[in-house]
Amino acid sequence: MKNNYKNKSSVIFIDEESLLPEEAWEEKNGRRDKTSKLRGSWNKIKSIPEGKAGSFPETFRNYLFSENSVLTRLFSSLLPPFGRFQRVAVDPQGTFLSAFLLCAVIYLGYVRSRSITRSNAFLSSVVLSGGYICITAAAVSLMSIVTKTIITFRQTISVVGYGLFGHALALLFCEFVSDEWFIPALVVFGGLATSRICLVLFARTPIPGLRFVICTPVGITHLLYLVYLHFAIMRDT
């Protein structure tokens, strides 16, 4: 089982980079000394290096466009977790921005396609985006117990949250171009975001036979969620 995690393509969460793959497996299964904790999650994903903060425009530019900036992490959520992209960010910034962007797109769809008050549209948007993250993360965490997937609830929240960035791009593309392009947008943006989530879970599941058990329902649900948002929310009724 441990040999599976020595593969160079194995996913590495930033909040456990300091642990060897074998140690992460032992931590998951309670075979590691509890005094040896995960180290250095926030220091490894800081967008602004210490001592380099300047004026607000410079600070804001570094925050968005530096090597480990939040924008870099957002667009990395559309790429397979291999090579230089095998390091998966675990932070609330990108998760919040992805959920916020999707929430804004859903709100736009409600306002433009339905006769609904703005307050109800806002509440519905928050429930649809935030609720999906929480419910999906909880379901994945429960399945990970059965499938022995090495992933924490916090890591699951981040992976699922970043996965909504592709959905937001797909809905925005259809909103401002044409609904006829939904299928290509579903395949490109939704497919890339979903494949990254599934590949992360695939790489973190040590038992080959159980990888299908956790990856298939998560991938199907994630794509169907985008289909639901498009046809039930974004299109005119």
**What are the C-alpha distances in Å from 68 to residues 12, 13, 57, 85, 94?**
15, 14, 18, 11, 11
What pTM value is reported for the model?
0.74
Between the two ends of the chain, the Cα-to-Cα distance in Å is 52
Q: 118-147 and 208-228 helices cross at what angle (nearest 10)?
A: 170
**What are the C-alpha distances in Å from 113 to residues 109, 172, 226?**
6, 14, 17
H or E stretch covering 88? strand 87-88
Q: Is the pLDDT of residue 62 over 80?
A: no
Read off the pLDDT of each residue in 211-237 and give the average, rounded to a whole number: 89
* Cβ–Cβ < 8 Å for 201, 214: yes
Instruction: Compute the distance between CA of residue 191 and CA of residue 167 in angstroms, rounded to an integer.
Output: 9
Lowest mean pLDDT among 139-143, 173-177, 200-204, 227-231: 173-177
**Exposed, middle or buried, 50 (CB in 10 Å: 0-12/13-18/19+)?**
exposed
Instruction: Compute the distance between CA of residue 14 and CA of residue 55 in angstroms, rounded to an integer.
Output: 29
**What are the C-alpha distances in Å from 56 to residues 45, 61, 62, 93?**
20, 8, 10, 19
Chain centroid to CA 64: how far?
A: 18
Amino acid symbol at 167: H
pLDDT tens-digit profile of 129-159?
999 999 999 999 999 999 999 898 999 999 9
**What are the C-alpha distances in Å from 211 to residues 3, 4, 148, 203?**
16, 13, 9, 8
